[in-house]
Amino acid sequence: MAAIPNDVFFATIGELNARLVAKEFSAGELARAFSTRLEQLGPRYNALALGLAQPARKQAAAVDNDIKIGRLRGPLQGIPYGVKDLLSVANHITTWGAKPYATQAFDYNATVVEKLNGTGAVLTGKLSMVELAGGGGYRLASASLFGPGLNPWDVTRWSGGSSSGSAAAVAAGMVTFAIGSETSGSIVTPASFCGVTALRPTYGLVSRHGAMALSWTLDKLGPFAHSAEDCGHILQAIAGKDGKDPGSAGKSFYYTPQYARPMKDLKIGYAPVDFADRAEPSARAAFQAALTALRETGVQLVETKLPQFPYGAALSAILAGEEASIFEALIVSGKVNELADPSQIAGLKAALDLPARDYLKAMRLRRLIQEAYTKLFAEVDALVTTGRSGGAPKADQPLDGGPRSGAAPAAAAAPAAPTDPGFNGIIQAGNLAGLPALVLPCGFADNLPVALQLVGAPFAENTLLAMGTEFQRRTDWHRRRPAGL
Amino acid sequence: MKFTRRELATVLAPAAALAQTSTPPNPPSGGDAEVDAARARMKANGDTLAKHAVPMDTEPAFQFRA
């Protein structure tokens, strides 16, 4: 058996596929090496929900046979990947990260898994997540059946959530790419904290069939990978019309970097305060350097203001209304009390009482928000801000900065927020309007990764990916890896 | 007309049983500080939404098709 060199675990899809086709190693050897690494390293970061080494070996054997007879299926053929444990894989446990569902299994594959199987990609494992994707509201990193998601860059830090394992697995080279999900921040946050590239697609572009629903109108599935280019290849494979998903946009996606518009013709809206006063002090230098690198791609940065709406209240009302209906049986039966996070339990119980008036008001506001962003994207081609304002928080402290139950309050008051809101609310706004976002690692703050976030118009993923690829041609933050891995 | 207690029980029992099956039990409330706090946050969100006027002809961002 060929020894797999360590750099393979951090190779991009294109690099890895080329080496497979050149027969530097077989798909079977690759699958075995990645499966072993996932099973050894996954528990260190509480990233692994379920290893799938045996089925992966069978998939890899089929890939080797295909390569032998010259049946080449494209860049994802033979590439090891993982999926967030809210995606069903036929006849395997799918826990949704939550104790009440710890033994459930479905007899079908999620559409995304079926599509990736069709490309010859090799599924090596299911990856941990915050219980029920965190919709009830959670305060603790330990809000998961698998324990707190830990960050490969610093195991005392949180990996982010709710796609905790997906981000950590790519960051630590346990999989070449992973599929996660976002309702409100669950791709952007862990990608930012773990220093990996990730894409939240336009709502409806990727089928939700076979994925746990937290919110029918907010949920999206998207890739975590080592580069923007990789995200493009993955999105092409997983996007497309699906009659089994009532929210399907009915559109395909073709990754077409060859048709990218020149960067000098593109305008990106931004708010300088996001990279200065609104950023954590330790992260400001990295963010300023990233803005400089972005300017050097040739794009024009234009100071922009976001449309003003009560994004947080609107998203909370929609999420509460939909999740309470989805999980009504769980809440009413009392099994909700088996969840790990008291805030999550309380939030889900309270959500049953959401007035219809609030849900409908939020959904009407949502239409106005969509119209406002349609106007905004007539002026700029994308928006750029930070993924999060700084590096990952400590995993053993409340994530909202408040005291743990029974603990003394924080000693020092938080500094006053800047009066300029910048792009505050962009994560909620982007999710309310169904907009795509691309997360790009852009440096470090106190040795913890930080990232930029590009947000685009609906179905403008190729534009975001082109900007991201140009940025990554000029920088190498996306190729850095945690020490010792 | 006077009913005996047995006759009253016979009349009222099906109604009581129907009430129990058709109305889901209320989730625990009062005394559960975290749930009360969550409800308060939800109400505050609702108050925020109520302050934001929406033109009367704005429809919700979902559409039913037959």
Probe site for chain B from A361, A428, A432, A435 (most B CB atoms < 10 A): A361
DSSP string, A141-186: TT-STT---EETTEEEEE--SSSHHHHHHHHTTSSSEEEEEESSST
Two structure tokens written together for A24: 């530097």
Rounded-to-integer distance, Cα B20 and Cα A51, Å: 45
Residues in A touching B59 (Cβ below 8 Å): 364, 367
Residues in A touching B45 (Cβ below 8 Å): 312-313, 316-317, 358
Kind of pairing between the strands at A80-84 and A122-127: parallel
Distance from CA of B35 to the nearest CA of A (A): 4
A128 close to A97: Cβ distance less than 8 angstroms: yes
Q: Between B35, B52, B62, which is nearest A346 by CB?
A: B35
Do the Cβ atoms of A367 and B35 come within 8 Å?
A: no
Probe site for chain B from A216, A354, A358 (most B CB atoms < 10 A): A358
Residues 6+ apart with CB under 8 A from A395: A141, A148, A149, A150, A151, A155, A156, A157, A158
Catalytic annotation, residues of A: 84, 162, 186
Do the Cβ atoms of A361 and B58 come within 8 Å?
A: no
Question: DSSP code of B26?
Answer: P
Instruction: With 0.90 as the threshold, say if the pTM is over it.
Output: yes
Interval A355-403: pLDDT, tens: 999 999 999 999 999 999 999 999 999 999 999 999 999 999 999 877 6
Geometric angle at alpha carbon A444, from A439 and A447, rounded to 5°: 130
Do the Cβ atoms of B54 and A352 come within 8 Å?
A: no
pLDDT score of A411 more than 50: no
Rounded-to-integer distance, Cα A408 and Cα A402, Å: 10
Q: Find where tokens 């915050």 sit.
A: A130
Q: Is the ipTM of this complex over 0.90?
A: no
Is the Cβ of A313 closer than 8 Å to some Cβ of chain B? yes
- Measuring CA to CA, which residue among A129, A49, A41, A57 is closest to residue A89? A49
What's the average model confidence in pLDDT over A267-291? Answer: 97
Which chain B residue has the Cα nearest residue A355? B46
Which chain A residue has the Cα nearest residue B37? A346
Two structure tokens written together for A103: 């033994």
Tell me the torsion sign for CA atoms A440, A234, A162, A39: negative
* Chain center to CA of A163: 6
Two structure tokens written together for A74: 């494209």
- Measuring CA to CA, which residue among A365, A358, A356 is closest to residue B44? A358
What's the average model confidence in pLDDT over B6-25? Answer: 47
Count Cβ–Cβ pairs < 8 Å, chain A vs chain B: 85
Quick one: what percent of chain A has pLDDT higher than 70? Answer: 96
* pLDDT at res. B15: 44
Two structure tokens written together for A316: 């909370």
Is the Cβ of B53 closer than 8 Å to some Cβ of chain A? no
Do the Cβ atoms of A364 and B32 come within 8 Å?
A: no
A136 close to A170: Cβ distance less than 8 angstroms: no
Residues in B touching A364 (Cβ below 8 Å): 54, 58-61
Rounded-to-integer distance, Cα A373 and Cα A357, Å: 24
Rounded-to-integer distance, Cα A302 and Cα A271, Å: 8
Two structure tokens written together for A484: 């010792």
Is the Cβ of A96 closer than 8 Å to some Cβ of chain B? no
Residues in B touching A354 (Cβ below 8 Å): 42
Rounded-to-integer distance, Cα A253 and Cα A42, Å: 32
Two structure tokens written together for A261: 């518009």
Confidence of residue B14 (pLDDT cuts 50, 70, 90): very low
Quick one: what percent of chain A has pLDDT higher than 90? Answer: 95
User: Which tops the pLDDT comparison, A212 or A400?
Assistant: A212
* pLDDT at res. A406: 40
- Measuring CA to CA, which residue among A182, A184, A179 is closest to residue A224? A179
H or E stretch covering A339: none
Confidence of residue B2 (pLDDT cuts 50, 70, 90): low
What 3-state DSSP class applies to A206?
Answer: strand
Do the Cβ atoms of B35 and A331 come within 8 Å?
A: no
Rounded-to-integer distance, Cα A128 and Cα A146, Å: 7
Q: Between A350, A353, A363, which is nearest B61 by CB?
A: A363
Buried/exposed A63-93: b ≥16 CB within 10 Å, e otherwise: bbebbeeeeebebbbbbbbbbbbbbbbeebb
Is the Cβ of A320 closer than 8 Å to some Cβ of chain B? yes
The number of beta carbons lying within 10 Å of the beta carbon of residue A118 is 12
- Measuring CA to CA, which residue among A215, A255, A273 is closest to residue A86? A215
Interval A150-180: pLDDT, tens: 999 999 999 999 999 999 999 999 999 999 9
Distance from CA of A372 to the nearest CA of B (A): 13
Is the Cβ of B39 closer than 8 Å to some Cβ of chain A? yes
Interval B17-52: pLDDT, tens: 444 444 444 433 334 899 999 999 999 999 999 999
A478 close to A227: Cβ distance less than 8 angstroms: yes
